[in-house]
């Protein structure tokens, strides 16, 4: 089995969008895989940069805009 490392092309932390309820249950939101991920898997998390977190959390309209777009430019590297 091949193992890959996916990283942000810009050296900054990336965050995964999700939703949770008051009982502590949560899900990571996914979308169709982008060009870097699609050879490995058909789905990928909705990824955010730090500056995207507050708009994502505070405005439902802006949150929806993060789906289906490449918010984070990933690069794939085979590690084994």
55 token code pair: 């708009």
What is the full per-residue pLDDT of the chain (80 aa) written as tens digits? 889 999 888 888 999 999 899 999 999 999 999 999 999 999 999 999 899 899 888 988 888 888 877 778 889 999 98
Number of domains in the chain: 1
- Measured CA to CA, the distance from residue 7 to residue 77 in angstroms comes to 8
- Nearest residue to 41 via CA among 33, 31, 49: 33
Domain that holds residue 10: 4-78
Answer for the pair 16, 8: CB distance below 8 angstroms, yes or no: no
């Amino acid at each position: 089995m091949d193992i890959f490392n996916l990283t942000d092309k810009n050296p900054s932390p990336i965050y995964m969008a999700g939703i949770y309820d008051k009982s502590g249950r949560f899900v990571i939101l996914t979308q169709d895989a982008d060009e870097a991920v699609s050879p490995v898997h058909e789905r990928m998390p909705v990824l955010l940069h730090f500056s995207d977190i507050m708009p994502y959390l505070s405005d439902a309209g802006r949150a929806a805009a993060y789906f289906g777009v490449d918010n984070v430019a990933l690069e794939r590297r085979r590690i084994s």
